[in-house]
Structure 1
Amino acid sequence: MSESVSEPVVVVGAGPVGLVLACELLQQDVPVRILDAERGHSQHSRATVVWPRLLELLRRIDVTDRLAAEGQRIQGVQYFSDHAPLGTAWLNRLQETPYPFAVGIPQSRTEDILEQRLHELGGKVERGCTLTALDTSGPLPVARFTQPGGITEDITASWLVGADGAHSTVRKLLGIPFDGERLSVCFAITDAELSGNIAPDLVSYCYTPQGSLALGPVGNGVQRVAVSVPPETAGEEPGREFFQRIVSERGPGGVELGELRFSTTFHVNIRTAEYFRSGRCFLAGDAAHIMSPAGAQGMNTGLQDAFNLGWKLAAVARGRMEESALDSYGVERRAAAHAVTRSTSLQTRWGFLRHPAQIALRDGIVRAADRTGMLQRQLAPKIGQIDATYRPETVKAPRNGRLVPGDRVPVLLGEGGTTGTWTAVSRDSWTVLLHVGRNRPHHWHRMAAAVRSEAAGLAEVVEAPSQSHGPLTEAFGPRPVAAVVRPDGHLYATRAALRAGELAQLLREARRDPRPQQV
């Protein structure tokens, strides 16, 4: 028996990426169906850390406080070589984010919190629904799902998103190549209670000539343990004695493991879809890219896909942007995924150095970076993903550290106005941020009134308070500036002084193509 229905947006896959995308759409009153072949959440997930940038973005769907309350706050990332400390990148010293910490939490709990939010927004996950066919020959994609009991349903979707993992059925049915490589690297992972000489609020990366070890808190004294192992061990489920031996050999010393919650071993694959959009179908998360688990960046990168696509898709569905704006999704997110993949691949290779000269060079670089503050200035923002940018390739970062179009703006996401020392921008429309600078000029009220008049019906206008120091002053400088900011908090364009009609024209151009303007 087969039924046929039509839906505005269909999301295939109810992992974190699919759930976030569905919440983003529902919160902006865009109906969505989210279907998953599995009957429940995975209890043995690989992703355990939510970094600062994602805590910022998750505020858009009002789940950041819930994650922070339930998980373990992580204050930094420390590095060891052959048991000796090399340095620490401190997240709690980041000045450019309202969330100067990460959250360690099992992916299954993250999914529970996201699904709870989905229910609050009026959505639900339809489980046990397997995608078996996808017809894209007509103007709209038609997806066939087989439900429990053998019933099939043909769903005509205005838009369809594949967030169905590394073995994505959507990607395969669309015929999108998924090229890359399998590294000669395997990792064994487990969750276990750890006691002894281990920081409860730091992620630890331990390098030795025998291999690498990563320890990451996930709450209640439990830590994620990840160790490099020979490739021939893929598919095995090592026991407690194995992990205890590796932790004793490679760890900081004096660490004892309790009972294992689970264990598994897997190969490291690096692959990226050739394109993230095919007509009215999209790929997001692991369906679009997979990378080394080093640095715990994979899920976070996928969640950035969900937010990038979500606000644009909602704007198009509600008539606020033109359909052509969706072309920017694949351009921006594919470049961003490549950047993270390069970083995680480098970290993986750094953990597998064996030659004494190579090890000495690596350790010397990290120690020097820690001593000079470079580790804090450069690595901490990268770990926290607050260096995320959609900067055009031809635009280079200025030496003074100021923002250029495409860069992330240090603001609160989710509502307009000012909260304490942080200025907030709208979650569902463009914002013109009026940065006063250090001293409010005498003509400021006249300028602000002109901007509000021009932006009427096109964007919200938010005035930032005058500050001699602070994130926005560091980002834009001491002088007044009008900054056009996207709903995801990335800078579209800046103007020191707006001429009549220029702002309205900028915002009309953004409706067609939200990619940041060339400087």
Structure 2
Amino acid sequence: MTSHGGGRLDVLVAGAGPTGLTLALSAHDHGARVRIVDRRPDECRHSRAFLVQPRTLEVLRPYGIAEDLVVHAAPARVHLHLHGRCLPVDAGRLRLPRTAFPRFLLVRQGEVELFLRRALRARGVEVEWGTNLHSIRTGDDGVVGVGTRDGCPTRIGSRFLAGCDGTASTVRRAAGISWNGAAYPQKILLADIELDGDLHPGVAHIAIHRRGVLFLLPLGDVARWRVVTAQQPNRSPASGERRFVQQLLDEAQLPADVTEVAWSEWVQIEHRLASRYQSGPIFLAGDAAHTCSPAGGQGMNTGIQDAANLGWKLAYSAAGRTQDVSALLRSYEQERRPVGRHVVSLSDALFRAEAGPDPVCSLVRHAFSRAGAPLVPPLLRAPLLSAPALRVLAQFDRRYRHSPLSIGTAGTGRTMDHWIVTRPAAPGTRIPDDEVTVDGAPRRLQELTATPAVHVLLHRDTRWQAPGRAGHRLRIHRIGSWPGTGIAIVRPDGYVGFRSTTGTAGAVEWLEMIGALPG
């Protein structure tokens, strides 16, 4: 096997999109030797995703990415266009509670990738462009990728291979994993354009009409505006691209003239799910494991969260300290494939409502475009109505309750801190960003756990001594504002793994199971 950086390679990542970059970063920061390759000659490509969810920001925070994305996000101003009526929407009202990142962000996929590449480069890891894996061979000691780099033969050996190489994944095909689902009859038009007219600049415009929904975003890669809309295959720009895009804006009753189409692309979209996420030392993540419509902005975010789940597990398994390596690795598919299935189903339902050609969908869109304007302000002013939908889109309700890594012991007592005994912090759920007291000072939970490690949270009166010394894999915090003798252990991806409301029995065994104790 080949080596890298003076030692054995632990994780080879195929694909340098948001998923692959996050996976390489996560695995590296948890101690793995990593290489990341991509068949493209360089990083240049047009963005296809623009929405970053709060949960995605939470999982990126330990790697120093989240704050950069918040700073560089486009202003969250939205104008909703309904049958020629422009309705300004105060997106600032759409805030999620108990998180350090209460808002959805408008950020180009290209910028997400840029910040991830910079973070990897700062750690000495560069994307190896122009590297195309043609075949994969597995053995007792790992996997070997065989292919070319800049036209020359290359072989890369590694303990694990992560296929993050998109919907046409070479890794998935080589692993013999089936790709279940179908293509939509519609295609997505992406176009970067310049406009002249009466549209507010720097605002995301969303127009709902009988044929569907048209998004006009101030986030073009090579022009000021990006058009995103679904179209039937029989609607082609035979009369010229600029006239065709102008026709789309006219149908949506947007008061603007297209002066230039700087770039455009028709994208075939599908709804598919891999039959497995793992085959021996080979794993799939992101669009290689699931693909869906762009409705709801789920695709890129789900891939990044796949990577945050898998990266630390590969690193801990490669270190050889886990009690049961196969169980830790199997937990990735057990936890993330149900999420992928749900995301594909949710996006499919949203896309059919947004762009479905059947008469019922068309009638509902037409009725809402004509009569829905009065309904929007009350919905935005009523958190009880909007919050559940926002939580679903933000993936805050994704739980790993049935994972083998989600372990809790029974306990009662009203002296426990409220978040430990209530549903949001049961094993397998994300921790909320509540305020706690540590060493007599106020801290936020998500800030306290925002380093790449396993975090042990001891209640004020808990007596517990971790075997060995806490190190980069294990951080221990005593929460002075939590009375009682309980313990909670937070995984590197921000989910509660172990919880006991009375005592610490089972905590050491859980840490040994995942390999978090110092060697």
Secondary structure (helix, strand or coil) at the match of 1:37 reads: coil
- Between the aligned partners of 2:10 and 2:177, the Cα distance in structure 1 is 23
Gaps of 5+ in 1: 436-443, 468-477, 513-519
1:37-65 superposed Cα distances (whole Å, 9 cap, x missing partner) = 11112422211222211112111211222
Deviation at 1:381, TM superposition (A): 2.1
Residues 95-153 of structure 1: CA deviation (Å, up to 9, x unaligned): 2211122332322232222222211101111111111121125542121121224x212
- 1:382 matched to 2:404: no
Structure 1 distance, partners of 2:234, 2:220, is 32
In structure 2, C-alpha distance between the alignment counterparts of 1:178 and 1:172, rounded to whole Å: 9
Cα separation, 2, equivalents of 1:24 and 1:267: 31
After superposition, the C-alpha distances for 1:389-411 in whole angstroms (9 at most, x for unaligned) are 3233999xx99764332221124
Out of 131, 134, 141, the residue aligned to residue 133 of structure 2 is 131
In structure 2, the residue matched to 1:248 is: 250
Letter in 2 for 1:129: T
2:59 alignment partner AA: L
Match of 2:305 in 1: 304
Question: Residues of 2 paired with 1:82 and 1:393: CA distance?
Answer: 48
Partner amino acid for 2:448? A
Within 1, Cα distance between the matches of 2:169 and 2:423? 40
Give the stretch that moved more between structures: 211-220 or 182-191: 211-220
Map 1:437-452 → 2, pairs under 5 A = 444=460, 446-447=461-462, 450-452=463-465
* Number of residues of Structure 1 aligned to a counterpart in Structure 2: 480
Per the TM alignment, residue 22 of structure 1 is displaced from its structure 2 partner at its CA by: 1.3
Q: Is residue 507 from structure 1 mapped to residue 514 from structure 2 by the alignment?
A: no
Change (3 A) 1:61 1:327: same
Counterpart CA distance in 1 for 2:273 and 2:239 is 28
Distance in 1 between the 2:191 and 2:82 partners?
A: 22
Change (3 A) 1:400 1:462: closer
CA shift, 1:420, in A, is: 5.0
CA shift in 2, pair 1:402/1:29, >3 Å? closer
Once residues 402 and 109 of structure 1 are traced to their aligned partners in structure 2, the CA distance between those partners, rounded to angstroms, is: 32
The secondary structure found in structure 1 opposite 2:355 is: coil
Question: Matches of 2:93 and 2:398 in 1, distance apart?
Answer: 15
In the alignment, does 2:432 pair up with 1:410? yes
State whether structure 2 residue 267 is matched by structure 1 residue 263.
no
Structure 1 residues 273 and 453: CA distance shift in structure 2, 3 A: closer
Q: 1:461 aligns with which of 447, 468, 476?
A: 476
Amino acid at match of 1:406: G
**For residues 418-457 of structure 1, what are the alpha-carbon distances to aligned partners after superposition, in whole Å with 9 as ceiling and x for unaligned?**
885454216333222246xxxxxxxx3x32xx03557965
Q: How does 1:17-96 map to 2 (within 5 A)?
A: 17-74=19-76, 81-83=82-84, 92-96=94-98
Distance in 2 (alpha carbons) for counterparts of 1:259 and 1:91 = 35
- CA drift at 1:466: 3.5
How far 1:317 moved relative to its partner? 2.0
Q: TM-score, normalised by structure 1?
A: 0.80
Report the alpha carbon displacement of residue 488 of structure 1 after superposing the two structures with TM: 0.7
Give the Å deviation of 1:369.
5.3
Corresponding residue for residue 275 of structure 1: 276
- C-alpha separation between the residues in 2 aligned to 1:120 and 1:61? 11
Match of 1:429 among 428, 453, 460: 453
8 Å contact kept, 1:13–1:163 = yes
Structure 2 letter corresponding to 1:166: T
1:349 aligns with 2:362: no
SS at match of 1:348: helix
Aligned to 1:392: 402
1:428 is matched by which residue type in structure 2? P
> 3-state SS of the aligned residue for 1:295?
coil
Q: Distance in 1 between matches of 2:481 and 2:403?
A: 32
1:333 and 2:375 correspond: no
State the alpha-carbon separation in 2 of the partners of residues 411 and 455 from structure 1. Answer: 29
Contact 1:94 1:380 in 2 (8 A): yes
Partner amino acid, structure 2, of 1:492: G
Cα distance in 2, alignment partners of residues 24 and 328 from structure 1 = 17
Secondary structure at the residue paired with 1:316? Answer: helix
Q: Which residue identity is paired with 2:186?
A: V
Partner of 2:233: 231
The verdict on how the C-alpha distance between 1:255 and 1:453 changes in structure 2, with shifts beyond 3 A counting, is same
Alignment match, 2:503: 498
In 2, Cα distance between equivalents of 1:140 and 1:237: 54
Which blocks of at least 5 consecutive residues in structure 2 are unaligned?
A: 407-419
Amino acid at match of 2:229: V
The separation in 1 between residues aligned to 2:166 and 2:233, in whole angstroms, is 23
Instruction: Give the structure 2 partner of residue 484 of structure 1.
Output: 489
CA–CA distance in 1 between the matches of 2:375 and 2:156? 53
Give the aligned partner of residue 410 of structure 2: none
Cα gap change, 1:101 to 1:155, in 2 (>3 Å): same
Letter matched to residue 403 of structure 1: A
Shift of 1:465: 6.0
- Whether the 8 Å CA contact 1:162–1:171 is kept in 2: the answer is yes
For 1:334, the aligned partner's letter is R
Counterpart in 2 of 1:470?
none
SS at match of 1:379: helix
TM-score normalised by structure 2 residue count: 0.80
Deviation at 1:281, TM superposition (A): 0.7
- Taking the aligned partners of 1:34 and 1:55, their CA distance within structure 2 comes to 22
Match of 1:7 among 1, 6, 9: 9
- Bigger drift between 110-119 and 490-499 goes to 490-499
Taking only aligned residues, the RMSD between alpha carbons, in angstroms, comes to 3.8
Identity %: 30
How far apart, CA to CA, are the structure 2 residues paired with 1:429 and 1:78? 42
Letter in 1 for 2:150: P
**Hey, what's the Cα distance between the residues in 2 that align with 1:241 and 1:391?**
52
Give 1:461 deviation, angstroms.
2.5
**CA deviation after TM superposition for structure 1 residue 166, in Å:** 0.9
Quote how far apart the aligned CAs of 1:260 are: 3.4
Displacement, 1:222? 3.6
Give the SS at the match of 1:188.
strand
